[in-house]
Structure 1
Amino acid sequence: MSQRNDTRLGIILMAITTLVFAAQDGISRHLAAEYNVLMVVMIRYWFFAAFVVAVAARQSGGVRAAAATVQPGLQTLRALVLVGEVCVMVLAFVFLGLVEAHAIFACYPLLVAALSGPVLGEEVGWRRWAAIAVGFVGVLIILRPGFAVFAPEALVALVSALLFALYALLTRYAARRDDAATSFFWTGTVGAVALTILGVWFWEPMSPADWGWMGLLCVTASLAHFLLIKTYEVAEASAVQPFAYLQLVFASIIGVGILSETIEWNVALGAAIVVGAGIFTLVREARAKRQARRRATA
């Protein structure tokens, strides 16, 4: 992490990052509707792994230092969980579209908060539990269980959110003994190897136009991760993380404006509840960390 602490710049970078991630998701939806999901994600990960190795090579100690870890099993598990999450989320884009998939996925910070106690032993106060409960009411409003219009495919996005929450918790756990550069390196390289083992069996010929989209997908995926790194270099995560919800806004704009999706009333209402509860949870978590630091230095 850099010594800089420019919250305003961090917010601007987070907004740009979420826009790039939303564009990446739109391209993923287009390609996965035409080609096997494993193949699409595999090619994306090849480029991502090359990016990760290039970043590691420019840092002190090079690739050897970035790859050094005392917990290879945990790092491998993290990477595999993220691979599963990406594949499931792309399927959700195909089944549900960007708008509804992102509206459901927005509950992942609530899942992180709910699981941080049993998984990491962190204290979760009653206010955050209340926010978690409210957030899941929002998810139920989106899903509308028991109604004729309920689509079981919506559960795919919920599984993706659960996997991403697990990935976030494993990343926190790994950070106790490995730095961010090591975790980033293992995420890209292990993911590329795992997807290659699976994805090569589903290779399909791709049209020249779609190769262009694939190239753009690879560029946006790496650019988004690069921007995210820069965001956390210039500002504290607690200050900028609530603005990550802008990805839902940008994805909705792309979904409605470009992909001709529609926003149902229950999705809009449920998403507003989920985002509100998620922001409250993030703010409470940041406040708890600040109080813990004050007690430690008192």
Structure 2
Amino acid sequence: MPEHHPTGPLTAPAPRSPAAPEPPGGPPRTDRQGAAILMICASALIFAAQDGVSRHLAAVYSPVFIVMLRYWFFAAFVVLLCARAPGGLGRAIRSGRPLTQIFRGVLLVAEVVLMIEAFVRMGLINTHAIFICYPLMISALSGPLLGEKVGWRRWAAVAVGFLGILIVLKPGSGVFSADAMLPLTGAAMFAVYGLLTRLVSREDSAVTSFFWTGIAGAGAVTLIGIWHWEPMASEDIPWLLVLCFSGVAGHFLLIKAYELAEASALQPFSYTQLVWVSIFGVTVFGETLAPNVAIGGLIVVGAGLFTWWRSYQRERAGRR
């Protein structure tokens, strides 16, 4: 559910990381990008499985309780990783925009809780088919929030993408309900989180943003989740451990991928998570992939890929 991002639902828009310098006698750059693509695809698989485990546990326990335990583990991982980074924790903590960083972390953990609730109510497939509109929301909001120029082609892609969302929702069907507002709201929250990530990247390093994402999120969810504490059945503890360790594994793969290749080259492969979510939804949870959901989802993905392509073209033109 991001960077899902602790959720992992499709990679969160993060500050563009330059590829790591080529070591003498190392593999050619194309091999490095190929390895990075494999890592992104593997992280998408892990995050899809993580969403399935979250749905399983949240059907029994409070979503905020599950997210709290997951974030405790994630925060420990963040502290360990930042302590080993150049400059240690002291450098990771220092931020030019501390209030914005804290707000980012709180916003993301709230989005995670919201998405897990949506998994329980709507299922994995319907939830993700709506949630994948978040890149389009980023394009739409990047102008008013960041002052970025959004051309008519990207506005057209946003319009087409939201047409796809209407096809998914199919007004008059069971999918179109108050529950559909959960993934829509989650997508909007994740889009704002991504834009704030861009904003803070103007002053803070990726390590600093990663630190505040984990620590602020863990602190915020603990204030609420501690009141939802409940004993866990012994058979559910292994699933909780899978949830925690898979989150760490997914984020580790993301970090390594961005060390090898630029984010702009990797973003399209994050959409493979929707494929895995559909497979898990049908085979594990007995969900149905309705034709309108498949068609609408493909339209949204296509529109999202077009907005990425336009941004990539502008980025390449800016380098010349």
Letter in 2 for 1:31: L
CA contact (8 A) 2:169 2:175 kept: no
Letter in 2 for 1:154: A
Alignment match, 1:18 = 44
Q: Are 2:33 and 1:7 aligned?
A: yes
- SS in structure 2 of the partner of residue 123 of structure 1: coil
CA contact (8 A) 2:126 2:175 kept: no
2:300 to 274, 277, 288: 274
2 CA distance for matches of 1:143 and 1:169? 26
Is there any run of 5+ residues in structure 1 with no aligned partner, and where? none
Alignment match, 1:291 = 317
Letter in 2 for 1:16: A
Correspondence 1:201-216 to 2 at 5 A: 201-216=227-242
Letter in 2 for 1:150: F
2:74 to 27, 41, 48: 48
Deviations 1:77-120 (A, max 9, x none): 11011011101111110111111111111110000011001000
Q: Are 2:78 and 1:78 aligned?
A: no
Q: Are 2:49 and 1:31 aligned?
A: no
Alignment match, 2:4 = none
2 CA distance for matches of 1:69 and 1:258? 43
Q: Are 2:170 and 1:144 aligned?
A: yes
Q: Are 2:191 and 1:165 aligned?
A: yes
CA contact (8 A) 2:115 2:183 kept: yes
2 CA distance for matches of 1:228 and 1:199? 27
2 CA distance for matches of 1:3 and 1:91? 42
Alignment match, 2:25 = none
- SS in structure 1 of the partner of residue 178 of structure 2: coil
Correspondence 1:242-257 to 2 at 5 A: 242-257=268-283
Correspondence 1:79-94 to 2 at 5 A: 79-94=105-120
Q: Are 2:156 and 1:130 aligned?
A: yes
Q: Are 2:290 and 1:264 aligned?
A: yes
Deviates more, 1:2-11 or 1:63-72: 2-11
Q: CA deviation at 1:149?
A: 5.5
Matched length: 294
2 CA distance for matches of 1:274 and 1:136? 7
Alignment match, 2:9 = none
1:225 to 251, 262, 271: 251
2 CA distance for matches of 1:32 and 1:148? 22
TM-score by length of 2: 0.90
Q: CA deviation at 1:259?
A: 1.1
* Structure 1 or 2: more helix by fraction: 1
Q: CA deviation at 1:3?
A: 2.4
- SS in structure 2 of the partner of residue 221 of structure 1: helix
Is there any run of 5+ residues in structure 2 with no aligned partner, and where? 1-16, 23-28
1 CA distance for matches of 2:273 and 2:241? 21
Q: CA deviation at 1:144?
A: 1.5
Tell me the percent identity. 53
1 CA distance for matches of 2:226 and 2:181? 27
Alignment match, 2:147 = 121
- SS in structure 2 of the partner of residue 35 of structure 1: coil
2 CA distance for matches of 1:274 and 1:99? 14
Q: CA deviation at 1:180?
A: 0.2
2 CA distance for matches of 1:234 and 1:74? 28
Change in Cα spacing, 1:149 to 1:122, as seen in structure 2 (3 Å) is closer
Alignment match, 2:8 = none
Letter in 2 for 1:3: P
Q: CA deviation at 1:211?
A: 1.0
1 CA distance for matches of 2:160 and 2:184? 16
Q: CA deviation at 1:154?
A: 1.3
